[in-house]
Amino acid sequence: MILFVGSMIGNAGAYFFHLCLGRILPPVEYGLLGALLSIYLLISTPLSAIQYTSAKINAVHGHSLSYVKNFYQVFSRYLWRFGLASFGIYLFCSVFFVQYFSLGGYLGVLFLGISLLFLFQLAWNRGIMQGLFDFTELSISYSVEGLVKLFFGIALGYFFLRADYTILSVTISLFIAFLLTVRYARRRFTSISAKSEPLPFTKKEIAIEGARMLIGTVGVAFFISIDVLMANRFLSDYDAGLYTALSTLGKIVYFAPYSVAMALFPFTAQNTDQTTKLNLTRKAYLIIIAIIALSLIFYFACPGLIFGILFGSKYANPGLLLGLIGFSIGIIGIVQLLINYLLSQTGWLYAYALIVSAIVQILLYENYHSNLTQFVSMTLCSAVTMLFLVALAFIGQKNNQV
């Protein structure tokens, strides 16, 4: 519940950010803002991998804070170097995706890239909070990030009416959240003496675990970000803006139950009893289904009212398309729970499922994009494919462990 409240405040800030800017910015600029945010989701994918790696390590070894502190100090140095290298690679690759996704300029991409300098340390610090079950501190971090993004986003959007300036609010919010996690780490470890003994993990083991987390988080992040980019590439400017609005509302059905999957992760990573872990997962699954079902009732029942309140008269009534998008991304919320369980264990079956799912999604968008309805249908087909393949991986992994 603590994580749910904190993440919902953060997500509310993020979604009011979207909705307010949907009213402030012209449709073309709003579509561009959605594309820039999708790029952020893609480039920040390693963050979740780093956070979950940190959470798993700290959940297992959280009984010894001296080890946790030593681990924190050692890997902070590596993360700073990794962030600097990532920033350089990102600038080099930006030449490609600015042209491919028709982003119009490099300024917004540059503003996003600056966050790479500190994002990885932010993720590691949040993983410490998650692994040590300091959910209140983690919730505050998410809440502040969302609210700061909302405040600066509205201000920048109102004064400049351009997506490339508005996106700077994302970098500002992440930097403030980073400062909060640094303050937490200093307060948590000030009175703890770091052990100079060898770390409980080798670099190879950490790299392997990090690779598992990266693949797991990339698969889900890819799904909920590539759709807006492909819409920006294939659909008209108006339809791309409308799809961005649909996707923004649809993601509520994903992020609302995300806190359940996040809270489940350290428990299943720490607990060694297979029956207990599966029971926890079943309970989390029922909670997520209830949240998704409640959201979809509103999406299917009154799409025109929702769009009218949130976006005004800029977009036409989407009809069933809003419910279909919500259903599609709600399926990914279920997938996220299964992925989190698999990541807290061992094995690579989920990786094959996610790779095949990503290929199927790209092929569907590439071949079927003649209108908005068809594009939304391909999003639904991609979600069903991912759920089917990940469920097979979950069953296979469970059978192997039993």
- Place 402 in a pLDDT band, splitting at 50, 70 and 90: very low
pTM for this one? 0.67
More confident residue, 161 or 315: 161
Percentage of the chain modeled with pLDDT above 70? 92
Instruction: Give residue 185's pLDDT.
Output: 87
- Sign, CA dihedral 135-1-60-333, equals negative
Task: HSE, CB side, 13 Å, CA atoms: give it for residue 228.
Answer: 29
> What distance in Å separates the CA atoms of residue 33 and residue 39, rounded to the nearest whole number?
10
Q: Which two tokens stand for residue 315?
A: 């977009």
Examine the pLDDT at 300 and tell me if it is beyond 60.
Answer: yes
Instruction: Give residue 399's pLDDT.
Output: 62
Percentage of the chain modeled with pLDDT above 90? 14
pLDDT digits 0-9 by tens, 371-389:
889 999 999 999 999 999 9
> What distance in Å separates the CA atoms of residue 150 and residue 316, rounded to the nearest whole number?
25
pLDDT, the chain, mean: 82
Instruction: Give residue 199's pLDDT.
Output: 57
Domain residues for the domain of 46 are 2-401
Cβ burial of 151 (10 Å; 0-12, 13-18, 19+) is middle
Give the three-state DSSP class for 389. Answer: helix
pLDDT digits 0-9 by tens, 112-130:
889 888 988 998 899 888 8
pLDDT digits 0-9 by tens, 182-232:
999 888 887 776 555 555 566 676 777 777 777 777 778 788 878 888 888
Instruction: Give residue 276's pLDDT.
Output: 76
Examine the pLDDT at 342 and tell me if it is beyond 60.
Answer: yes
Q: Which two tokens stand for residue 359?
A: 């290929």
Phi and psi at residue 347, in whole multiples of 5°?
110, 165
Q: Encode burial over 4-25: b for 16+ CB neighbours within 10 A, e otherwise.
A: bebbbbbbbbbbbbbbbbbebb
**DSSP secondary structure string for all residues of 68-133:** HHHHHHHHHHHHHHHHHHHHHHHHHHHHHHHHHTT---SHHHHHHHHTHHHHHHHHHHHHHHHHTT
Phi and psi at residue 133, in whole multiples of 5°?
60, 30
**DSSP secondary structure string for all residues of 11-67:** HHHHHHHHHHHHHHS-HHHHHHHHHHHHHHHHHTHHHHHHHHHHHHHHHHHTT-HHH
Provide the number of structural domains found in the chain: 1
Q: How many CB atoms lie within 10 A of CB 239?
A: 20
